[in-house]
Structures are given as structure tokens and as C-alpha cells.
Structure 1
Amino acid sequence: MLRGLYDWTLSLAARKSAEWWLAFIAFVESSVFLVPADVLYLPMALSRPDRAYRYALIATVASVLGGIAGWFIGHYAYDAVARPILEFYGKYDEFEQLRAGAGVGFIVLMLITSGAAHLPPIKVVTILSGVIGVNLLLFIVLAIVARGARFLLLAWLLRRYGEPIREFIEKRLGLIAGAGAVALILLYILVKYAF
């Protein structure tokens, strides 16, 4: 099922309506969808490098709006909407563990790591932010920075290095970003508990 969903999302990049699909995928990824917008963004930016930043802006705006929707789902419709979504994706137990220890500082860290390496998936962070009541304006600013940085970095890499960087991005950037995310988490734990 996941491979079919991935292939379908990738096929959208060739359509004339690709920008609308990118906005839609980025929006729903931030609240309910499993496949990241990068799957659509990368082939679009590679086929039209002159539009890489435009696509990054579209993905960022739609992702932040989707994040706001996720925040509202978590804040106002946790039992009716969020819990079934989390159970469907098998993320409910992980979510409850995160919820038990989450505060604003932890949400900031998770938005950064999710923006950099999809750890945890952005939908988990947005819903959790609403559940624990993170200030909506603070959440929006953090989401703009986290998601914008990811898409703008990808745009810059694709504009600068083109097709050769694609394999690196698809295979290794996640590992590098994941290592950076782990380092941030360890730094957060050190600062929180050692000082």
C-alpha cells in the first residue's frame, strides 16, 4: 500500500496541476497524510530548477496551513479525529509517550527535527502541539521556520547542484539530518537535566 501511495504521489509531478498537488500534499502531510511533500517537490524542482524557490514557498505555506489544521485537530477534535488518525498509522502509542513528557521546549525541538529529518512525522508534532495547548502564534512562527528551512535548503541544493544531488538527497540527506536531529535532542536533554 505504501509503495503504491508513494508512486501515485510521485506521478503528480508530471501534471500541469503539479503546483496545486504540491500544495495539497504539503497541507495534508502536516495533519493526516503519510507521504512527505518532498516526494513531489524533488522531481518538480529538478524538472524546473528556475522554479525551485517558488515550489519551496508553495510547499512551506501549504505545510504551515496544514500544520495549523493539525493544531486545531489536536486542540479541538482529539478523540473524534486525531486519535483515529494516529491509530490508523500505528502512531498512537508513540504519540501518547510524547504527550506525557511534552512541553513548549520539547515542541520547539520536535518541530526542528521534524522539519529537518521527519523525526517524528510532522503530523504527530502538529496534533501534539494542539493537544498540549502550545500558543498558536508561537506554533505558526516555529512551523514557518522549521518547514521553510527544509524546503528552502532543498531548493538551494537543487538549484546549485541539479540532478547529481538528487540521489544524495533521496538516500543520504535523511541520515545526515537524522544525525543532526539526534544531536539536537541530546543537547536538549543535556541542557534540561544537567543545568
Structure 2
Amino acid sequence: MNKKIFNHINLITFILVFCVGWIDIIAFKLFVFDRTGFHSAKASVIGESLFTGDIAKIALLVTILLAFIFGAFIGTKITMEKGCKSGLLVTSFSLIVSYFMKDATIFLIPFALGCMNASTSLTKVSRTTHISGPTTDIGMHLAKGEYDKAIFYALRWIALPLGAFIGLILLDKLPLIVVFLAPSIIIGLVAIIFDKYLTIV
């Protein structure tokens, strides 16, 4: 077994990114109707919405972005003071609460994912809610011959689509409360079980 690939950091990364894919697709389909964890394309969409005069779309995107930024702010503060475990527990709690406060999902879900992304970014796990930057990292590390690092970032391209795929399958088979709360709880369990590997770097 290659310890450079099969290690705790890669496992943690895979599980968390998998959960993001799962949560994001459910949020997109049922609650927020836009992507809550990754935002690169939003700049272009905002520009298009300005052109077409779609003020409602702009308001939605700006709300999601501000919630994500606020989540990242809180996640950084908490993680710097109390560790990544606390940041991930806040993420888990916020997601669970969002299910029971559906009018607030437009804020709570991106807030939670911003919190998680900032918290993990301060550890070896790095960013967990988007794959634009990591896609560049794959190419950079391949060019340097750092194949273990390229694999570390490539795992996101497996985990996130797989999470979305599984989320949609389960949405057709299980009650919504189970489908939405399961990944939210898994994030909390990862924080507790793998706490010693989530040290700030």
C-alpha cells in the first residue's frame, strides 16, 4: 500500500469533498437553486445578469457570496482559536439547523461551506469546497514530478462528482431529512474522529 496515497489526510479530504458534492446538489435542487460551495463562475453570471437586468439573480448570488465569506471569516477565527475540529463542528451544526430553518438556507448553507473551506484551508487538508484551484495544482504538481501531491488534488475530482451522484440517488429513495442530514453529520464525525490529523499548518 502506497502510504503517500493511502493516508489520513487524503481520506479526510475525500470524505469532506464527497460531502460537499452531496450537500451542494441537494441545496441546488431543492433549497438555494444555485451552487453554494464554489463560486468562480458567479463573476461571469453576475456580469450577464447586469446586462439582462436580472436583479433577483444578482441579489441571490451576492447573498450566497456574502454568506460564504462570512462563514470563511467565522471559520478562520474559530479554527485559529480552537482548532479545525471546532470549525467543522460549526459547519455540521449550521447545516443541520439549515434543514429545520428552510427560509434561512440561502444563508446558512453557503455560510457552513465557507466555514468548512476556511477551517480545512488552515490544515494539510487544504480547500474542500471547490476544485478550480486544485485543478491548476494537479497540473503544477505533475509538471514538478510530485505525483503524490497531484493525486491529493485529483481526489477532489472523484469525490465531489461522486458525492453529487450518491446524493441524487438517495434523494429518490430516502426521506429528505435523511438525505440532507447524513452528510452534515458525517462532517461532524470526521471532525471528532480525525481531530489529531487536523492540525493547523
- With the length of structure 2 as denominator, give the TM-score of the two structures: 0.35
The higher relative CO (CA closer than 8 Å, separation ≥ 6) is in 2
The structure whose residues are more often helix, as a share, is 1
- With the length of structure 1 as denominator, give the TM-score of the two structures: 0.35
